[in-house]
Amino acid sequence: MSSVQERTQELLKLAAESRAGLKRAADALDRLPEPEQAEARAALMALAGVQPGEEAEEGEEGEGTTLTNKRLLRWALGREAEAQRPGNPTHRDESFVCARCGAQVAPGGARVRDHCPACLHGQHVDGPVPGDRAARCGGLLKPTGLERRGEELVLTHTCALCGVVRRVRAHPDDDPAALRALSASSGWRAIR
């Protein structure tokens, strides 16, 4: 094991202890000189399942576009916990059976399949990055809004368990009738 990997594992262990530990680990990472810091960040991004350059995509609302060392550590921890959970039924963009309507959903291909194309519901398994599977909630994500962003339709999901609100892009094979119904009920009139 290289020294950077050892260092990264030490930081993750510290971060997993407590909130204070997470802060201490983030501070230690902030203080790490280059190129060690960049190498440690790259190792953490690999653990968190984040592609370089993808850090800011569809981030949490109101948060900045740069991935701080603290958040990076949190993501890596979430991903590790998820990977260690036995029998975890969902993986990045794999087929699944919808928890709400029972539809057999095929992988999304180019886009991570993060909701059911038949009923538009999802499951709260992702953290800030689509497909990262970093959340531990598991609640049903209910479609609560629809808006148009340029050429794309964007669904609002609200978790029935923890209340998190998240926006996800509609998929080309999402059921048009379900999208129309959501558009009408949300009052945003994204589709006529």
Interacting residue ranges for Zn ion, rule: CB under 5 A: 98, 100-101, 103, 116, 118-119, 124, 137, 139, 159, 161-162, 164
Q: What share of the chain is helix, strand, coil (3-state, %, to 5)?
A: 35, 15, 50
Smallest distance from Zn ion to CB 185, Å: 17
CB closer to Zn ion out of 14 and 98: 98
CB closer to Zn ion out of 56 and 162: 162
Smallest distance from Zn ion to CB 116, Å: 3
CB closer to Zn ion out of 44 and 178: 178
> CB-based burial of residue 157 (10 Å sphere; 0-12 exposed, 13-18 middle, 19+ buried)?
buried
CB closer to Zn ion out of 80 and 175: 175
Smallest distance from Zn ion to CB 164, Å: 5
Q: What is the spatial distance between Cα 187 and Cα 38, in angstroms, rounded to a whole number?
A: 46
Smallest distance from Zn ion to CB 102, Å: 7
DSSP string, 123-147: ES---SSTT--------EEEEEEEE
Q: Point out which residues pair with 105 in neighbouring strands.
A: 96
> According to DSSP H, which parts of 49-123 are helical?
69-84
